[in-house]
Chain A
Amino acid sequence: QVHLQESGPGLLKPSETLSLNCIVSGASITSDYWSWIRQSPGKGLEWIGHIHYSGTTNYNPSLTGRVTISVDTSRKQFSLTLTSVTAADTALYFCAKLGSRGFDEFDPWGPGTLVTVSS
């Protein structure tokens, strides 16, 4: 059974860089795609981007220029970096596996990690 677990600092100041990791267990990271998704307080879900184990990435155009997703196959983890954060980046951040059934589905998801941006 595949499990994902996010980790990273929960509190950032404006203009700082957000860095989160997602550790994958129960499956090989060298298969399919791996994604980051967030949910701002009181709002819906927003796809951030995804990465293939080969390193190919795809990002939400609204975040292009600030976002980077990378993968470390030896550590079985993938990471999210978001630069120049503002209060608008305050959200619950999830990592998820993409497309294991051959559709564009996200499954499973990690439990999520809350990131707050505040001065």
Chain B
Amino acid sequence: QSVLTQPPSVSGAPGQRVTISCTGTSSNIGSGYDVQWYQVLPGTAPKLLMYGYTNRPSGVPDRFSGSKSGTSASLAITGLQAEDEADYYCQSYDSGLSGSVFGGGTKVTVL
């Protein structure tokens, strides 16, 4: 069981908006530690999609956006495209473990 909780799957039609939640606790997100998001396409290594909750690395489309609320973070994909079909993971630091923790991953399906 992962320290950060994500829904196993979300889906949407092309062009729609989907959101993925990442719920933590007082020892990670709730303590103010940053949240990152990664996209994992089949057969490839994870790719950094968002860092520090809302910052996109160069090359990541602005269809992807991040936010924070209390002990949770969210990743939104607007204008969903077929190429967005992938697994998405959130990640943060946990003071209890003194290390990084990941969510269980969310599979995004484009209908």
Contacts and interface: CB of A to CB of B under 8 A. Distances in A.
Interface of A: 35, 44-47, 49-50, 58-61, 94, 98, 101, 103-112
Contacts, number: 70
A45 B52 contact: no
B51 A45 contact: no
Nearest to B52: A103
A60 B99 contact: yes
Interface stretch (B10-18, B64-72, B78-86, B88-96): B88-96
Residue from A45, A49, A112 with most neighbouring chain B CB atoms (10 Å) = A45
Contact of A59 (B34, B52, B99, B102): B99
A108 B44 CA distance: 12
Given A50-B100, A109-B46, A109-B47, 8 more contacts: A44-B89, A47-B102, A50-B99, A58-B98, A104-B91, A105-B34, A107-B48, A109-B45
A94 B40 CA distance: 13
A45 B34 CA distance: 17
Contacts of B91: 45, 104-106
Contacts of B46: 45, 94, 106, 109
B100 A47 contact: yes
B45 A111 contact: yes
Contacts of B92: 104
B97 A60 contact: yes
B103 interface: yes
22 contacts: A44-B2, A45-B38, A45-B91, A47-B101, A50-B100, A58-B98, A59-B99, A61-B99, A98-B100, A101-B52, A103-B34, A103-B55, A104-B33, A104-B36, A104-B100, A106-B48, A107-B51, A107-B57, A109-B45, A109-B46, A111-B45, A112-B45
A45 B97 contact: no
B24 interface: no
A101 B92 CA distance: 14
Given A60-B97, A103-B36, A104-B93, A46 B48 contact: no
